[in-house]
Structure 1
Amino acid sequence: MMEEAWEALLKSYVYYKGLPVGTLAAMDPTAEALNYNQVFVRDFAPSGLACLMRPASAGGDPEIVKNFLLKTLHLQGWEKRIDNFTLAEGVMPASFKVLYDSHRLRETLVADFGGSAIGRVAPVDSGFWWIILLRSCTKCTHDHTLSEMPEVQRGMKLILNLFLSDGFDTFPTHLCADGCSMIDRRMGIYGYPIEIQALFYFALRCSREMLKPERDGKELIKRIDKRITALNYHIRNYYWLDFTKLNNIYRYKTEYSHTAVNKFNVIPESIPDWVFDFMPLRGGYLIGNVSPARMDFRWFLVGNCIAILSSLVTPAQATSIMDLIEERWEDLIGEMPLRIVYPALEGHVWRTVTGFDPKNTRWSYHNAALIWLLAAACIKTGRPQIAKRAIELMEQRLSKDGWPEYYDGKAWSYVGKQARKYQTWSITGYLVAKL
């Protein structure tokens, strides 16, 4: 199965002027290509990690990662216009593709900054994944040449200045639009979704290691340090939920002034019934969102795992997240790992929140690709047996089903209705988890 996955990964390589610069999103021969024939920044993250982690003697390829980082950096410098509106300098593309210009007889790059995306939403997470992959490449190769290049330092600063800019927000968390992250269609994750906050924190810590304190670098490092401290405090205190915290929220009253316990005016009656059944006595997790008068109590895998990997949560909280996964195995892992969000939106809520999006039907959109995040979090918390159990479940189905994009059903028994086969990040997610 590993050999099959490596072969599929190599077949997905995209070349520009003879050099590999990324991997296709999917190579399903039975489905229309749509935008799956492009290189997506977030999708390439596990591809890049797989290429970095495999020994060079066995076919490891750090060069594709370096080429990808430089090529997307080049695209960052393009003018980014959607209709009549120009995006900020620091925005990284969601994806790009290589086309052959028959008139000029040469290859050209075409980038998407959200103009072709679902809902015309620019990706917030692309810049974060770019920084995290840059740091991974530097750590793995022990070569700082790439990260110290003036154009790379400038690109990193543009991303950071975009996300650290001051405005009207009173929270250290990053405000973003619905559909701007991996869940790229309406799922009610607008505002301050945990996935974006965890990636933001991770990218800040990675940047802190790579930024050179020259010229304006010192001032930027000070801003990073300040934001890391504030973000750390905010997430650990206000996003954390366990049995004790749930009991406290259940007894909240409407309060005013800076001494208020109920700082965000959360009304206890807004707590959904499923939370009380879901929350075990042992375990806890970071909830999906916190904003005025609203807490999204749903479990999101990406945010919780990245919070562990980046040390955004305390060691005790990281242990509690793993406890929760074990306690609620059937709900969060199921027959075909693993669930990106729990619980599913259903009925009237699903209709109003997703806008009847048929690709977000209930108990759908569960990604096998995310197994690498779970495996990494398990290793960091000293619980590799959890990852081993999940991977063994996956190995019973994933290859036989043709490496699908996602599974449907409450127990993930069915390959997703609109899922592409030979999805590269399902392939590389498995590879990285095994490595």
Structure 2
Amino acid sequence: MVLPDGVGDSYRHKIQNRSGALHYHVREYYWLDLKRLREIYRYRGEEFGLEIANTFNIYPESIPAWLTDWLPEKGGYLAGNLGPGQMDFHFFALGNLLAMVVSLASPQESQAIMTLFEQRWQDLMGYMPVKLFFPALEGEEWRIVTGCDPKNRPWSYHNGGNWPVLLWLFTAAAQKTGRIDLAERAIALAQKQLIQDRFPEYYDGSNGRLIGQEARLYQTWSVAGLLVAHLLLENPDHLGLISLAESTGLSTCQQPQ
């Protein structure tokens, strides 16, 4: 439908319009750094109209205590979710890494995300890169959100576990942002341990030091994550197979026609 043969012109036009609106929405509303956090902290709730700062009526009281000390001066990331009266301040590695690779995050935002990984290495990478979700849900929040799911107890599985499969995506993002040193550091950290541990599915603990209690061994995606990471470093041209370039004219909101 999108081949350049004339038939797909209308579809490509619609994609471009949607893409422009999506880029604007994500970069304008989901981006979170110290500057943005200071703005949210001084928001006034229940604002209405077009010319307002607090578009989604986010209450300053919803800012979690951990975030104000954790967010570094120059780092940032795309928030987990956003809706009326609610912003999920958790860090989701998969979404942020994909946003960098496909240029949903701007070049400046991508650099800030990699700086966040560098500045908060122990939290987001630990002993086995890469932590899927930070920080883990605990206490009453864990009971409500997960339904007391024992598999997703704090700092395990999808609730703060470390997933070696994400090594390839972290390497791709590091390549795209020119931060190869971080990719090399992550691979060197992971590969010896992965071989020794027989390629587990995931790791437990706040720093990913323990093999997941229910993790299966010799997992194909854990092996593939390491292999693809190596291949990307060996041949940087492979990045073009999965990466999308920054498109001109997509930084402003465009209404679909």
* Per-residue Cα deviation, 1:49-95 (whole angstroms, up to 9, x for no partner): xxxxxxxxxxxxxxxxxxxxxxxxxxxxxxxxxxxxxxxxxxxxxxx
Q: What is the DSSP-based 3-state SS (H/G/I as helix, E as strand, rest coil) of the residue aligned with 2:194? A: coil
Matching residue within 92, 115, 120 for 1:328: 120
Question: Match for residue 392 of structure 1?
Answer: 188
Q: Does 1:281 align with 2:88?
A: no
Name the aligned partner's letter for residue 238 of structure 1.
Y
Matching residue within 17, 25, 28 for 1:226: 17
Q: Is the 8 A contact 1:252 1:268 kept in 2?
A: yes
Alpha-carbon distance in structure 1 between the residues aligned to 2:113 and 2:208: 22
Alpha-carbon distance in structure 2 between the residues aligned to 1:336 and 1:311: 26
Unaligned runs of 5+ in 2: 232-257
Deviation at 1:213, TM superposition (A): 4.8
* Per-residue Cα deviation, 1:269-289 (whole angstroms, up to 9, x for no partner): 011111111111111111111
Matches within 5 A, 1:38-77: none
Question: Match for residue 104 of structure 2?
Answer: 312
* Per-residue Cα deviation, 1:284-303 (whole angstroms, up to 9, x for no partner): 11111111111111111111
Matching residue within 209, 216, 226 for 1:413: 209
Alpha-carbon distance in structure 2 between the residues aligned to 1:427 and 1:211: 35
Alpha-carbon distance in structure 1 between the residues aligned to 2:220 and 2:31: 33
Question: Match for residue 291 of structure 1?
Answer: 83
Matches within 5 A, 1:202-221: 211-215=3-7, 217-221=8-12
Larger radius of gyration: 1
Higher relative contact order (CA 8 A, sep 6+): 2
Q: Does 1:434 align with 2:230?
A: yes
Question: Match for residue 121 of structure 1?
Answer: none
Alpha-carbon distance in structure 2 between the residues aligned to 1:229 and 1:282: 26
Alpha-carbon distance in structure 1 between the residues aligned to 2:120 and 2:5: 46
How many pairs are equivalent? 226
Q: Is the 8 A contact 2:172 2:229 kept in 1?
A: yes
Deviation at 1:356, TM superposition (A): 1.2
Deviation at 1:314, TM superposition (A): 1.5
Matching residue within 38, 41, 64 for 1:250: 41
Name the aligned partner's letter for residue 36 of structure 2.
K
1:351 and 1:213, CA in 2 relative to 1: closer, same or farther beyond 3 A? farther
Alpha-carbon distance in structure 2 between the residues aligned to 1:311 and 1:411: 29
Q: What is the DSSP-based 3-state SS (H/G/I as helix, E as strand, rest coil) of the residue aligned with 1:241? A: strand
Question: Match for residue 237 of structure 2?
Answer: none
* Per-residue Cα deviation, 1:103-131 (whole angstroms, up to 9, x for no partner): xxxxxxxxxxxxxxxxxxxxxxxxxxxxx
Matching residue within 251, 269, 283 for 2:61: 269
Q: What is the DSSP-based 3-state SS (H/G/I as helix, E as strand, rest coil) of the residue aligned with 2:91? A: strand
Matches within 5 A, 1:161-240: 211-215=3-7, 217-240=8-31
| TM-score for the superposition, normalised by structure 1 | 0.51
RMSD: 1.2
1:227 and 1:213, CA in 2 relative to 1: closer, same or farther beyond 3 A? farther
Matching residue within 79, 89, 93 for 1:301: 93
Q: What is the DSSP-based 3-state SS (H/G/I as helix, E as strand, rest coil) of the residue aligned with 1:335? A: coil
Q: Does 1:369 align with 2:165?
A: yes
Question: Match for residue 250 of structure 2?
Answer: none
Q: Is the 8 A contact 1:213 1:221 kept in 2?
A: no
1:218 and 1:345, CA in 2 relative to 1: closer, same or farther beyond 3 A? same
* Per-residue Cα deviation, 1:217-255 (whole angstroms, up to 9, x for no partner): 222222111100000001111111111100000001021
| TM-score for the superposition, normalised by structure 2 | 0.85
Q: What is the DSSP-based 3-state SS (H/G/I as helix, E as strand, rest coil) of the residue aligned with 2:181? A: helix
Question: Match for residue 199 of structure 2?
Answer: 403
Alpha-carbon distance in structure 2 between the residues aligned to 1:288 and 1:357: 21
